[in-house]
Amino acid sequence: MTLARRLGTGDAVVIGLGSMIGAGIFVAPAPAARAAGSGLLLALAIAALVAYCNAQSSARLAARYPQSGGTYVYGRERLGAFWGYLAGWAFVVGKTASCAAMALAVGTYVWPSHAGSVAVIAVGGLTAVNYRGVQRSAELTRVIVAVVLLILGLIVVTALTAGSPSASRLALSSAGTSAGGVLEAAGLLFFAFAGYARIATLGEEVRDPERTIRRAVPIALGLTLVVYALVIGTCLALLGPAGVAADPAPLTSAVRAADADWLVPIVRVGAGVGACGALLALILGVSRTTLAMARDRYLPAPLAAVHPRFQVPHRAELAVGLVVAVLAAGIDLRGAIGFSSFGVLVYYAIANACAWTLGPGPARVVPALGFLGCLCLAFTLPTGSVISGAAVLSIGVALYGARSVVRT
């Protein structure tokens, strides 16, 4: 059974915004600032450039192949079964780690002393929403995006009217930077831009996919970049790079530095809501790629079932929700971000390779830049993230080989 086409351009943009804004702005700046120091905004620009190339490649491919599964489908059609499988495996494992990171972010901001329990509850509730249908998910995401943008706007406006930072805050701006640190930070910040993949992986549920996806992807990415630049610039102005790096919740410290303690609980609510929005969209994307891989028997066939009433891959959604809940009980937030970034950068490297095959001449410039950018950022991530990511990809390759032997 195929999925119903219910999403328009506005819905697709909102889902992309919900994935990106909630995923990145509350959790990614601190680890990125530790790596980049005063080069944090440069790292943001590099991450955005690579994300733009990936977005353009993904939009072209999604318009050509409007099916659930994203680069799993593109790789299979353009490069062969193995590369499609590797992209799907990298996406599923990388984004499952992202889901766990977002669930933990909800718990960390909402109830720090019981972060794991809150994370599990959030996963259960959002999986139930997704189970009821993609249109309900889009409606809830629209509300979440509006709330988060309102709160981020309050933070920026409050900072702009707070006056000059004190001398003690300015002293925090002495953190240095290096080329390697900037690239590492760009790789970590890429975690925050990867949400536009939700639009492509929902290709089977989008109306007029060729037009809708090509419009929705760059709009969502551009709006997210503007929001990130404003908010990160505000945090740097108030706290300095070292201040941002030292605090896992830099936005709450920024409003305190602006003498706006009344905003702290609002920021915490915004962070929790934003992370819920990202988690909602992430579960959507991972479950659709799981559906596509199950249809081809790379994952258990029962996961390919589509609910006859709600027309969603309900077993895939339940399976993803269960795995994420288990991971959220004990995973490290910074490690999850690095691991997720590695897997997703490999995924987009394959997407760019697929887009490169679509046509000769100038059309190949963007996917070539995207491919090189993805590999560069992937292998400048923290060493632990590279090692663990490469190990999990190797497990996937071994499983593919074992399946091929069994079939022959």
Instruction: For residue 387, give the DSSP letter.
Output: H
The residue-averaged pLDDT of 142-149 equals 85
> Could you tell me what percent of the chain has a pLDDT over 70?
89
* 251 dihedral zone (left: phi>0; alpha: psi -120 to 50; beta): alpha
Q: Which residue has the higher pLDDT, 22 or 147?
A: 147
Phi then psi for residue 292, to 5 deg, are -65, -40
Model confidence band, residue 246 (pLDDT cutoffs 50, 70, 90) = confident
DSSP string, 228-285: HHHHHHHHHHHHHHHHHHH-SSHHHHHHHHTT-GGGHHHHHHHHHHHHHHHHHHHHHH
DSSP string, 170-227: HHGGG----HHHHHHHHHHHHHHHGGGHHHHHBGGGBSSHHHHHHHHHHHHHHHHHHH
3-state secondary structure of 7: strand
Q: Helix %, strand %, coil % for the chain, to 5?
A: 85, 0, 15
The residue-averaged pLDDT of 219-228 equals 89
Residue 85 pLDDT? 95
One-letter amino acid of 326? V
Distance CA 130, CA 274 (A): 16
Q: Which residue has the higher pLDDT, 204 or 404?
A: 404
| Tens-place pLDDT, residues 65-83 | 877 777 899 999 999 999 9
The residue-averaged pLDDT of 16-28 equals 73
Model confidence band, residue 164 (pLDDT cutoffs 50, 70, 90) = low
Q: Using alpha carbons, select from 8, 276, 284 the residue that is nearest to residue 145.
A: 276
One-letter amino acid of 101? A
Residue 388 pLDDT? 93
| Tens-place pLDDT, residues 324-367 | 988 887 777 777 888 989 999 999 999 999 999 998 877 899 99
- Token reading at 216: 């929705």
One-letter amino acid of 185? A
Residue 105 pLDDT? 81
Residue pair 203/66 in contact by the 8 Å Cβ criterion: yes
Residue 204 pLDDT? 67
- With 70 as the cut, is the pLDDT of residue 293 above it? yes
- Token reading at 310: 């709600």
Residue 4 pLDDT? 65
3-state secondary structure of 68: strand
Q: Which residue has the higher pLDDT, 18 or 318?
A: 318
Please, what's the largest Cα pairwise distance for the chain?
Answer: 71
Residue 408 pLDDT? 62
Q: Using alpha carbons, select from 247, 244, 235, 241 the residue that is nearest to residue 178.
A: 241
| Tens-place pLDDT, residues 183-193 | 999 998 998 88
Residue 53 pLDDT? 93
CB neighbour list of residue 168: distance below 8 Å, 6 or more residues apart: none
- With 60 as the cut, is the pLDDT of residue 168 above it? no
| Tens-place pLDDT, residues 268-285 | 888 888 888 778 777 877
- With 70 as the cut, is the pLDDT of residue 263 above it? yes
Residue 173 pLDDT? 46
Phi then psi for residue 7, to 5 deg, are -100, 130
Domains of the chain (ranges, CATH numbers): 9-403 (1.20.1740.10)
Residue pair 194/51 in contact by the 8 Å Cβ criterion: yes
Residue-averaged pLDDT of the chain: 84
> Could you tell me what percent of the chain has a pLDDT over 90?
32
- With 50 as the cut, is the pLDDT of residue 170 above it? no
CB neighbour list of residue 71: distance below 8 Å, 6 or more residues apart: 58, 61, 84, 87, 88, 91, 200, 347, 348, 350, 351, 354
- With 80 as the cut, is the pLDDT of residue 234 above it? yes
Q: Which residue has the higher pLDDT, 349 or 224?
A: 349
Q: Using alpha carbons, select from 81, 135, 178 the residue that is nearest to residue 401.
A: 81
Model confidence band, residue 165 (pLDDT cutoffs 50, 70, 90) = low
- Token reading at 401: 């080989």
Residue 57 pLDDT? 92
Residue 184 pLDDT? 94
Distance CA 84, CA 301 (A): 17
Instruction: For residue 106, give the DSSP letter.
Output: H
Could you tell me how far CA 348 lies from the centroid of its own chain? Answer: 12
